[in-house]
Amino acid sequence: MSGAAIGKVAVLMGGSSAERAVSLMSGAGVLAALRSQGVDAQAFDPAERDLVELRRAGIARVFIALHGRHGEDGTVQGALELLGIPYTGSGVMASAIAMDKVMTKRVWQTEGLPTPRWQWLAPDRQSREDVNAVPDQLGLPLIVKPPREGSSIGISKVAGYSQMQDAVTLAAQYDPDVLCEEFIEGIELTCPVLGRGAAAKALPVVRIDAPDGQYDFQNKYYTDVVRYGIPSGLSAAEEAEVQRLTLAAYRTLGCRGWGRADLMMRAADRQIFLLEMNTSPGMTSHSLVPMSARAAGLSYEQLCLRLLQQATLDSTR
């Protein structure tokens, strides 16, 4: 299907989450790419306009370039299901589960997929006594994060007991629940996936080398100090195993369209651990999916058009 044959398209961007600024950058890139492919595309910010306007405007398909809550968590997907407008990426259930790192870990553990040890601190389990008991179980250092945010927002690496309370307080500013996770010392990796079900394919693995391991919000989007390895530098067997685990994680959650798994390879024994699955990955100039797609021979513009062509509804998959 050519770009012109798709009909009117809305690129959902901005939104109301803590990742709004990143979403606006992703959306601007996607919008320009689709237009370059002959698509009749327009920007649409759900924070400023009611989604019902999509139907009134005769929108045939939606490219979701939203990140975080109310965009990546199944809520917008559910609204588009009710409106009957096909959209890019995963459906309602997979989006909701993948957005919640605690639920994601529960599913992966049930299926025997490797993920770092963790503890969940509900709002009534964040007393000083509860918080200080976490390192006794997970060891130090450890990671403290809000389970339903992305882009490294609200994340802390905790080296000692004295830092635990501040880390939990920071994470709780973004999510009433707090996820504490075993720190894996080693190589940071990411692996995108395109497609759905048995036809889903893993793209080349990307190795991430950030200064002092600080792959934080600033370094992800606003600096050029992070080095990305494509090829990853892993052995062929290790690269294949990262891709195998990524596909298993993606399919287990019921993802479709596209996604990106973040992983760690432990330096001590080269064991691979799944950290999270992103169902609406970034599409900025620094983003990892376009980087990996280019290594596979797919340009940014071709990637955007391909994702749009695969837009669908839960009811028609």
Q: Which of 215, 221, 250, 300 is catalytic?
A: 221
- Report which of residues 265 and 223 the model is more confident about: 265
222 among known catalytic residues? no
Q: Record the tokens describing residue 247, joined without a space.
A: 């596909």
Element holding 32 (H helix, E strand)? helix 20-36
149 among known catalytic residues? no
Q: Which of 276, 280, 292, 300 is catalytic?
A: 276
Q: Which of 17, 156, 219, 278 is catalytic?
A: 278
As a whole number, mean pLDDT of residues 193-201 equals 96
The answer on pLDDT for 65 being more than 70 is yes
Residue 162: what pLDDT?
A: 93
Query: 77-129 pLDDT, tens per residue?
Result: 999 999 999 999 999 999 999 999 999 999 999 999 999 999 999 999 999 99
**Among 67, 100, 180, residue whose Cα is nearest residue 134:** 180
Secondary structure of residue 277 in the 3-state scheme: strand
Q: Record the tokens describing residue 279, joined without a space.
A: 């169902």
- pLDDT bracket for residue 221 (50, 70, 90): very low
Q: What is the DSSP string of 80-103?
A: HHHHT--BSS--HHHHHHHH-HHH
Distance CA 142, CA 118 (A): 9
Q: What residue has token string 């994060």? A: 145
Q: Which of 72, 150, 282, 287 is catalytic?
A: 282
Q: Which of 260, 280, 287, 292 is catalytic?
A: 260
Q: Which of 149, 188, 262, 301 is catalytic?
A: 262
- Report which of residues 2 and 201 the model is more confident about: 201
Residue 210: what pLDDT?
A: 79
As a whole number, mean pLDDT of residues 234-258 equals 98
Q: What is the mean pLDDT of the chain?
A: 93
As a whole number, mean pLDDT of residues 240-248 equals 98
Q: What is the side-by-side order of every strand in the sheet holding 178-182?
A: 118-121, 178-182, 142-145, 156-158
Residue 213: what pLDDT?
A: 59
Secondary structure of residue 287 in the 3-state scheme: coil
Domains defined along the chain, listed by start: 4-88 (3.40.50.20), 97-115+185-309 (3.30.470.20), 118-182 (3.30.1490.20)
276 among known catalytic residues? yes
